[in-house]
Chain A
Amino acid sequence: MTCDGLSYSTQEMMAVAAARVLRDGTSCFVGIGLPSTAANLARRIHAPHLALIYESGAVGARPEHLPLSIGDGVLAETAEAVISVPEVFNYWLQPGRIDIGFLGAAQIDRFANINTTVIGDYAEPKVRLPGAGGAPEIAASCREVFVVVSQNTRTFVEQLDFVTSVGHGTGPGARATLGLRGAGPTKVITDLGVLCPDPDTGELVLTEVHPGVDIDDVRAATGWEVAVAADLRTTPAPSDVELGMLRQLENATGKPSDA
């Protein structure tokens, strides 16, 4: 799907915007899906020394095509080190060695707390989601967290049905009280724009809109009255290089075979 008059889709804009925030020379704990796409895109464009850590145990993976899962063979085969799963969590994530955690969300609230467990009541769920995976400790222990998620009122909700991973909790000071040592979510990148927490309140503020997106589009897609930065910027559109590389990466995912 492409936006009116644009040569790229909103999903592509989101992936490119997410890739841009990854700095060269940092380490990034990567989940599958958009985070993996963005991290691999960044590594090919502006961050060749971005160290990708997959929870399956591939540290410093350099996959030549996008893996479908966090455990595809291409990850271990190209990694600097292959380690056990307890080691991933105990030696690498828990002590705060990893700069950036990259997470998705089924629901997110104004403090960037995340639900990936259930929609509806836990005991009688409307939708049973996959659950926590590595996310609670990634959100707790990475130096900072970026969230990548499509923005709509089903996802951006006033009240989470379940808190799977803590963002800024109930507001200022909440992370420190809970003993969470990383900074928590510093950017939420969506298909409409970018939100960052207000340093005083911990609440997400719209700081960027993508080309062709109005503030009202963002308001209509957010389940609370979203704050907007005074110096709201427009995200630069994806360059030909970014788009070309992204499409090349995505076309190489998965291989046909008999079921």
Chain B
Amino acid sequence: MAELVSLGEAVQEAVHDGDTVALEGFTHLIPVAAGREIIRRGLRDLTLVRMTPDIVYDQLIGAGCARKLVFSWGGNPGVGSLHRFRDAVENGWPVPLELEEHSHAGMANRYVAGASGLPFAVLRGYAGTDLPSVTSTIKQVTCPFTGEQLAAVPALNPDVAIVHAQRADRSGNVQLWGLIGVQKEAVLAASRSIVTVEEVVDELTPMPGAVVLPGWALGYVAEVPGGAHPSYAQGYSERDNAHYQSWDAISRDRESFDAWLRQKVFA
């Protein structure tokens, strides 16, 4: 049963050094505030899982929280590079970052397998690419019915999944709508979960296309208005594209990133 707690309590209870952690949200509803809470608590040696690392993982990587990254597309969407990610991969700064990289289709299916309680997922993917030669979690299987060769990827079952949503009720039932990404799959695949929400309300009125995650399937729910910024929560905020553009300069060198950490995270 979901516990309604503060973000600090949720991260303290659910996230530990060395955990495999998935902060999901495909462009929309990215749990950026939860990422900063992880940095603030000085967590280390995390395996970070996320389809699109985005600014949230650029921050965690630059702050030295991550040992390994499992991902499929590591750029600043519409802007360019994630400079802290690149500095970690190219120069091992602040700590070396092991990579396990997939395609979006592979990552999405890995979450589906994880949520489904299956050991692996099967897809038409990766054929002819160099990805299987650098990623040991891409194999081939033969279809037992047709003999066709298909790609197999292992289930993702993170220790903790963290997502952001529009709202929750007082029983911890969570409702999200708009671009729903792989949030549901990530939460159901993980052993523990944290959902940050824009607001806690008395009643979840139906919304078109909404996904409801029942409170009994969740760990912690924390009210964090604006917790997805500079990503957004449809119906509450707009994507702050200017912030994504300004992140390019903030993250480009180590000094300006450290200054940002001191001013925006540790202040």
Contacts and interface: CB of A to CB of B under 8 A. Distances in A.
Interface of A: 32-33, 55-58, 67-73, 75-77, 82-86, 88-90, 93-94, 117, 122, 125-137, 140-141, 162-166, 169, 174-175, 178-181, 253-259
A33 B78 contact: yes
A68 B243 CA distance: 12
A112 to B, nearest CB: 12
A255 B242 CA distance: 6
A128 B74 CA distance: 9
Contacts, number: 192
B246 interface: yes
Given A133-B103, A164-B130, A259-B250, A73 B232 contact: yes
Nearest to A87: B108
B72 interface: yes
Contact of A165 (B77, B79, B129): B129
A75 B149 CA distance: 36
A32 B75 CA distance: 11
Given A135-B103, A137-B125, A72 B74 contact: no
Given A90-B123, A128-B74, 10 more contacts: A70-B77, A73-B178, A73-B239, A76-B234, A130-B82, A140-B125, A178-B128, A254-B241, A255-B238, A257-B242
Best-buried of B131, B234, B238, B245 by chain A (most CB within 10 Å): B131
Interface on chain A toward B: helix, strand, loop, or mixed SS?
loop
A18 to B, nearest CB: 17
Nearest to B249: A259
B249 to A, nearest CB: 9
A256 B242 contact: yes
A163 B103 contact: no
A84 B27 contact: no
B78 A86 contact: no
A134 B104 contact: yes
Best-buried of A134, A174, A258 by chain B (most CB within 10 Å): A134
Nearest to B250: A259
Contact of A82 (B52, B89, B104, B209): B209
How big is chain B's contact interface, by range?
Answer: 35 or more
A243 B240 CA distance: 28
Contact of B179 (A82, A162, A256): A82
B103 A134 contact: yes
Contact of A73 (B130, B149, B238, B242): B238
Given A163-B130, A174-B128, A130 B234 contact: no
A19 B126 CA distance: 28
B129 A71 contact: no
Contact of B240 (A132, A136, A174, A257): A257
B180 interface: yes
Contacts of A83: 180
A130 B78 CA distance: 12
Contacts of B131: 117, 132, 136, 164
Contacts of A77: 234
17 contacts: A72-B241, A76-B178, A76-B234, A84-B182, A85-B182, A86-B112, A129-B75, A132-B103, A132-B104, A140-B125, A141-B124, A164-B130, A254-B241, A255-B238, A255-B241, A256-B242, A259-B246
B103 A128 contact: no
A174 B111 CA distance: 31
B1 interface: no
B29 to A, nearest CB: 9
Interface string B72-106: 11110111011001100110000000000111110
A14 B22 CA distance: 39
B180 A254 contact: no
Given A68-B241, A131-B71, A166-B129, A94 B77 contact: no
Nearest to B124: A94
A69 B27 contact: yes
B163 interface: no
Contacts of A117: 101, 130-131
Interface string B226-238: 0000001010001
Contacts of B102: 132
A165 B131 CA distance: 9
Contact of B104 (A71, A75, A85, A259): A85
